[in-house]
Amino acid sequence: DAKTTQPNSMESNEEEPVHLPCNHSTISGTDYIHWYRQLPSQGPEYVIHGLTSNVNNRMASLAIAEDRKSSTLILHRATLRDAAVYYCIPAEGGSNYKLTFGKGTLLTVNP
Amino acid sequence: NAGVTQTPKFRVLKTGQSMTLLCAQDMNHEYMYWYRQDPGMGLRLIHYSVGEGTTAKGEVPDGYNVSRLKKQNFLLGLESAAPSQTSVYFCASSMDGVEQYFGPGTRLTVT
């Protein structure tokens, strides 16, 4: 499995954009990059995933570097509800049902 | 839809006792998973199932057994509980393995 490096914590202000980085330099060519988040005292929640191209959905955008060794999750306007631990998870495309969660990045959103 | 539900929400066991955790989903998903999360850590996959009647080992399967007799249910059993199994247990389900939906968790304490 690819190893990931994420900041332990980040802070943002409400209604400002947030860029959450992830390094995955050992990622293989078939690994998708998944992002999940976990709000306090809840189970994780799917955010977004992608392979090579940048991806957008109603929750966030995912920017993937051209060499795929890093990616950035972008929350366009942070809200208090976005305060959570964010996990970046490379997972093999053929068996991407086996997710390995690291420690993630704790995002604090200030009012 | 209730989504993914877990029973019970809390449980305290003595060392050596047995118990079964029940996960149910009403989304007709093929894939189901059991994870554990220790304090300050990410989730680790215990066992998973890719369809009714199938199960497979994840990252930390020792001390646990599972069964998937019905598509909507995935049971996690502890035959002889140990203090090292004190954790929060999360169940998840997915249609295709990509987007996993998580339950609210079961907090288990083994004394």
Q: What is the DSSP string of B55-104?
A: -EE-SS-TT-EEE-SSTTEEEEEESS--GGG-EEEEEEEESSSSS-EE--
**Residue B88 burial by Cβ neighbours in a 10 Å radius (0-12, 13-18, 19+):** middle
Is the CB of residue A87 less than 8 Å from the CB of residue A101? yes
- The chain-wide mean pLDDT, for chain A, equals 91
Nearest residue of A to residue B31, measured between CA atoms: A97
Name the A residues in 54-83 with CB < 8 Å from any B CB: none
Is the CB of residue B48 less than 8 Å from the CB of residue B55? yes
Q: Tell whether the model's pLDDT for residue A94 goes beyond 60.
A: no
Q: Tell whether the model's pLDDT for residue A97 goes beyond 70.
A: no
Q: Which segments in chain B show pLDDT lower than 70?
A: 1
Name the A residues in 27-56 with CB < 8 Å from any B CB: 32, 34, 36, 42-46, 49
The 10 Å Cβ neighbour count of residue A15 is 11
Residue A99 Cα, gap to closest chain B Cα (Å): 7
**Is B42 part of the contact surface with chain A (CB cutoff 8 Å)?**
yes
**Is A98 part of the contact surface with chain B (CB cutoff 8 Å)?**
yes
Is the CB of residue A59 less than 8 Å from the CB of residue A47? yes
Query: Among the listed ranges A13-27, A89-103, B40-54, which one has the minimum average pLDDT value?
Result: A89-103
**Is B106 part of the contact surface with chain A (CB cutoff 8 Å)?**
no
Q: Tell whether the model's pLDDT for residue A85 goes beyond 60.
A: yes
Q: Tell whether the model's pLDDT for residue A14 goes beyond 80.
A: yes
pLDDT mean over A14-35: 91
pLDDT mean over A54-74: 94
Q: What is the DSSP letter of A8?
A: S
User: Residue B2: its pLDDT value, please?
Assistant: 78
**Is B48 part of the contact surface with chain A (CB cutoff 8 Å)?**
yes
User: Residue A99: its pLDDT value, please?
Assistant: 84
Q: Tell whether the model's pLDDT for residue A96 goes beyond 70.
A: no
Question: B7 vs A91, which has greater pLDDT?
Answer: B7
User: Residue A28: its pLDDT value, please?
Assistant: 82
User: What is each CA distance from B107 to A11, A52, B21, in whole angstroms?
Assistant: 29, 38, 11
- The chain-wide mean pLDDT, for chain B, equals 94
Give the torsion through C-alpha atoms of A55, A58, A59, A64, to 10 deg. 10
Nearest residue of B to residue A8, measured between CA atoms: B40
User: Residue A30: its pLDDT value, please?
Assistant: 79
User: Could you tell me which residues are beta bridge partners of residue A45?
Assistant: A37, B101
Say how many Å lie between the first and final Cα of chain A, rounded. 38
Residue A34 Cα, gap to closest chain B Cα (Å): 8
User: Residue A95: its pLDDT value, please?
Assistant: 58
User: Residue A93: its pLDDT value, please?
Assistant: 54
Q: Tell whether the model's pLDDT for residue A5 goes beyond 90.
A: yes
User: Residue A26: its pLDDT value, please?
Assistant: 85
Give the torsion through C-alpha atoms of A38, B65, A98, B42, to 10 deg. 30
For residues A76 and B54, what is the distance between their CA atoms, to the nearest angstrom?
A: 41
> Does the distance separating the beta carbons of A49 and B45 come in below 8 Å?
no
Residues of chain A contacting residue B97, judged by C-beta atoms under 8 Å apart: 95-97
